Chain A
Amino acid sequence: MSTLLEVQGLEAFYGRTKALHGVSFSMAKGGITTILGANGAGKTTTLRAISRMVRTTGTIRFENEALERKATEDVVQLGIAHAPEGRGTFVHLTVEENLKLGAWGRRERGNLKDDFERVFAYFPALRERRRQAAGTLSGGEQQMLAVARALMLRPRLLLLDEPSLGLAPLVVREIFRILKTINQTGVTILLVEQNAALALDLADHVFLLETGRVVMEGPSDVLRKDDAIRRAYLGY
């Protein structure tokens, strides 16, 4: 199993405040990894670090290419798609325009028709609303749009920040089901979630962050049975 992403001694800063204190982990190609932790643990910051949206020290290697000196736009071109916290929808633009923009970072543009068909197959609701302003979509649909937009990049790595936030349980379960399908087509997924139960179900590997440090990691079926995790994050 080849390593897709490797992070070593990552420290991240907001101004002069240090948010990550030497995080290290690696991800294998084709898997689903989830980062769990309470509010403020540094989960979103970790994704932002990979997308080069915060100042960092330490190394980040993606398919053996160093990311530290790259800008966000370059990282996107390498095939890393980031659906950020809060969805990041272009609310004034239509669903279709949002999707077109998702493909902007692709090295080879090509015909977008097939990509459209593919994402509409995953998310039929988006096809119905393709000419609607994205801001008029419901929360669940906007989350689907965020994932769909990320997929338009034909990414090798998909970064997802709290896709369940603010959504009804049924909708969340549907989205997670689709994520599994997407992963089976070969897209590696790094998922940040507060909803530990769902995340542990979906992922094969887990990292637990506490105040900017990795305190536990391992395969999800092992960690799911761990007492500390059960009590703190699964509530039983």
Chain B
Amino acid sequence: MDIFIQQVVSGLATGGIYASLALALVMIYQATDVVNFAQGELAMFATYICWSLINGGMPYWAAFLSTLAIAFAGGIVIERVVIRPVENAPILSIVMVTLGLLVICNSVAGWIWTYVQKPFPSPFPANPFKAGNIVLGAHDLGQIEVTLLVLLCIYLFFRFTPLGLAMRAAAHNPVSSRLVGIRVGWMLALGWGLAAVFGAVAGMMVAPVLTLEPNLMGGVQIYAFAAATLGGFTSPGGAVLGGFIVGVVENLVGTYVSFIGTELKFTVALAMIIVVLLVKPTGLFGSTVVKRV
């Protein structure tokens, strides 16, 4: 039982990372019908920026917050400069641009910081947290707290602020949004900015565990796809929940199912995607779009 609880907590910790990245993917998909394949790489790039700041002497949390600000600005700039010229092009063409961003990010990161793995610090104490017989890693707990805090802030932002309301409106109904005076283009840019922030949080939380290198987020992005598929690409809340579920399932399967060692854990994510798509493609909380003909 103790091992079970430990694995669940551990799963929630990684699940939080998947949830953050999945939320970023879903936010942009909801507003533009485009899956941003570069989301993971942008997160990796932001994590490297944080690493550079810390290496330059900045204390961890100052670097963390600065990175979030830089990621936010970066996301806005990328949407306005790189995506805007093709915003009216066919969907696959826009997807190509995100693929281009993916390879550029990966390649430039490798060029600037080399492909050598770098240790990334964790702001949480090294000593594990003990509750009776249960041993929980401090980083895992800290990760869960940070993720929940970020998610809470975002939820409050979208639910209770005028700007959040305008962004929601712009994502659901851009035409009516323009008619009430919302500058939809800038709402999209803000969306990309926020998505970049979620990605950066995911990157900075996972880097201490996986060690920092340009391919840091490759596997994470696959799990994020599984999370978004499970929760529903049309539901931000669903994607978050999906992330936590995927994290816990991944960990439990890895622990309790004997022939699935660490190599085949990946297959678990793929299997989840296929099963969800066969049973209910729109995910647990997604809704099918009813089109009038």
Q: Which positions in A face B, CB cutoff 8 Å?
A: 51, 53, 71-73, 76-77, 82, 84, 88-93, 97, 100-102, 104-106, 149, 153
Contact = CB atoms under 8 A, between A and B. Distances in A.
B179 A82 contact: yes
Contacts of A153: 180-181
Contact of B169 (A53, A71, A90): A90
Interface in B167-224: 168-169, 172-173, 175-183
Nearest to B171: A92
A104 B168 contact: no
Label chain A's interface by main secondary structure.
loop
A123 to B, nearest CB: 18
Contacts of B169: 90, 93, 97, 101
A105 B180 CA distance: 6
**Interface footprint category on B:** 10 to 19
Nearest to B168: A93
B179 A84 contact: yes
A216 to B, nearest CB: 29
A124 B177 CA distance: 25
Contacts of B178: 53, 71-73, 76
A104 B179 contact: no
Contacts of A53: 175, 178
A101 B172 contact: no
Contact of A92 (B172, B175, B179, B180): B172
Contacts of A84: 175-176, 179
B176 A105 contact: no
B162 interface: yes
A189 to B, nearest CB: 16
B120 to A, nearest CB: 39
21 contacts: A51-B179, A73-B178, A73-B183, A76-B180, A84-B175, A84-B176, A88-B175, A88-B179, A89-B176, A90-B169, A90-B176, A91-B172, A92-B172, A93-B172, A100-B162, A101-B166, A101-B177, A104-B162, A105-B182, A106-B181, A153-B180
A222 to B, nearest CB: 33
B165 interface: yes
Given A72-B179, A106-B181, 7 more contacts: A72-B178, A76-B178, A88-B176, A92-B172, A93-B172, A97-B169, A104-B181
A156 B182 CA distance: 19
Given A73-B181, A73-B182, A73-B183, A100 B176 contact: no
* Most A-side CB within 10 Å, residue of B162, B165, B179, B183: B179
B135 to A, nearest CB: 44
5 shortest interchain CB distances as A-B pairs:
A105-B181, A76-B181, A88-B176, A72-B178, A101-B180
A90 B181 contact: no
A93 B182 CA distance: 15
B172 A104 contact: no
Interface string B84-125: 000000000000000000000000000000000000000000
B89 to A, nearest CB: 16
* Most B-side CB within 10 Å, residue of A71, A88, A89: A88
Interface string B148-168: 000000000000001001101
A77 B162 CA distance: 17
A53 B184 CA distance: 13
A102 B180 contact: yes
* Most A-side CB within 10 Å, residue of B169, B175, B176, B177: B176
A88 B173 contact: yes
Nearest to B181: A105
A153 B183 CA distance: 16
Contacts of B175: 53, 84, 88
A104 B173 contact: no
Nearest to B183: A73
A113 B181 CA distance: 20
A90 B173 contact: yes
Contacts of B179: 51, 72, 76, 82, 84, 88
Interface in B253-287: none
Contacts of A104: 162, 166, 180-182
A166 B133 CA distance: 67
Contacts of A100: 162, 165
Contacts of B172: 90-93
Contacts of A73: 178, 181-183
